């Protein structure tokens, strides 16, 4: 066995649990498929930098998404639309460097794959070669099926994203719930089956009625990852800044906030500024003799 040959342990999908079962290597698509067969639910969070990604990796989050939500949650844009490939490569490389165990999935941003399957392949290869991610995500069901097929044939694991697709914000006129009504529900099911058929290893279902998400989950062999898709998807994903209370202002209905980091960080910054003003910082213990 040479250095590049995986050991039998590395080669096997975890048969215990994703949480704790896989600790000496990165989570793989086979681990996620095995989790679906076991009925084990898993979590995904976005990450945009090495430091935060390292915290989530240590916390055992099996999959981290370098989402193009970096546009509005990290880079200060209003939407995901302006995000470029160069930005995604830089952010993704940082997340890979900051982690050891999580599978890292990177978004193909708007305009980086819609032209043709060849364009999708070119940019997916950049994310894998330059940033070192383990998989890419792209938006669209039937409309993206040919690109998914080509990527998968070329050895790129693809996570699909259907329902509300934020890169289409201007065409949708905002971020409305998708899949309501018979025709829209049937289209969502067709989209889900198309991405599975094309070889996607998982599919994000964003902002769809819980009952419809449950139906899709039951009909697919690949894991569904819900965000605003109710409790019955195989996995859940949240934008980390929403989950941890860093986002300013209103968050979507589907978000649960597990911390209030915006207040914690603001309080720390105010206390520091006050200490500087009063001369309480730096004290003797922070100074060199
Ligand atoms: O970019 C992103 O963060 C996403 C999630 C909302 C799934 O696509």
**pLDDT for 25-35, tens place per residue?**
999 999 999 99
Gap between the Cα atoms of 56 and 25, Å rounded: 15
Give residue 237 CA to ligand 1 midpoint distance, Å: 8
Under 8 Å CB-to-CB from 140, ≥6 apart: which residues? 114, 160, 161, 162, 165, 191
Catalogue the active-site residues.
206
Give residue 252 CA to ligand 1 midpoint distance, Å: 13
Query: What is the C-alpha end-to-end distance of the chain, expressed in Å?
Result: 56
Nearest Cα residue to 109 out of 167, 45, 176, 36: 167
Gap between the Cα atoms of 28 and 188, Å rounded: 27
Q: Mind listing the pLDDT tens digit of every residue in the chain (289 residues)?
A: 454 555 555 556 766 788 767 778 999 999 999 999 999 999 999 999 999 999 999 999 999 999 999 999 999 999 999 999 999 999 999 999 999 999 999 999 999 999 999 999 999 999 999 999 999 999 999 999 999 999 999 999 999 999 999 999 999 999 999 999 999 999 999 999 999 999 999 999 999 999 999 999 999 999 999 999 999 999 999 999 999 999 998 999 999 999 999 999 999 999 999 999 999 999 999 999 9
Extended strands (E) in 18-62? 42-46
- Residue-wise pLDDT tens digits, 128-181: 999 999 999 999 999 999 999 999 999 999 999 999 999 999 999 999 999 999
Gap between the Cα atoms of 119 and 130, Å rounded: 16
Gap between the Cα atoms of 100 and 95, Å rounded: 10
Pocket (CB within 6 angstroms of ligand 1): 46, 65, 67-69, 107, 161, 204, 227, 237, 239
Q: Whose CA is nearest to atom 8 of ligand 1?
A: 67
């Amino acid at each position: 066995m040479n250095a590049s040959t995986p050991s039998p342990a590395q080669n096997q999908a975890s048969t215990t649990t994703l949480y704790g079962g896989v600790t000496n290597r990165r989570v793989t698509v086979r681990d996620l498929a095995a989790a679906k067969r076991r009925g084990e639910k898993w979590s995904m969070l976005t990450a945009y930098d090495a430091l935060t990604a390292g915290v989530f990796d240590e916390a055992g989050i099996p999959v981290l998404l370098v989402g193009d939500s970096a546009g509005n949650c990290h880079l200060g844009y209003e939407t995901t639309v302006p995000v470029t490939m160069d930005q995604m490569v830089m952010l993704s490389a940082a997340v890979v460097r900051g982690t050891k165990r999580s599978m890292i999935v990177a978004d193909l941003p708007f305009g980086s794959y819609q032209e043709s399957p060849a364009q999708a392949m070119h940019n997916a290869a950049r994310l894998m070669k330059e940033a070192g991610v383990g998989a890419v995500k792209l938006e669209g069901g039937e409309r993206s099926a040919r690109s998914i097929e080509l990527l998968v044939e070329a050895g790129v694991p693809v996570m699909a994203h259907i329902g509300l697709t934020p890169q289409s914000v201007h065409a949708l006129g905002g971020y409305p719930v998708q899949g309501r009504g018979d025709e829209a529900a049937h289209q969502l099911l067709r989209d889900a089956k198309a991405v599975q058929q094309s070889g996607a290893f998982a599919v994000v279902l964003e902002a769809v009625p819980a009952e419809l998400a449950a139906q899709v989950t039951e009909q697919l062999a690949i894991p569904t990852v819900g965000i605003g898709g109710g409790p019955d998807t195989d996995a859940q994903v949240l934008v980390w800044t929403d989950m941890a209370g860093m986002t300013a202002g209103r968050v979507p209905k589907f978000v649960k906030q597990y911390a209030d980091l915006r207040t914690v960080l603001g309080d720390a910054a105010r206390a520091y500024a006050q200490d500087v003003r009063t001369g309480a910082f730096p004290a003797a213990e922070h100074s060199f003799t």
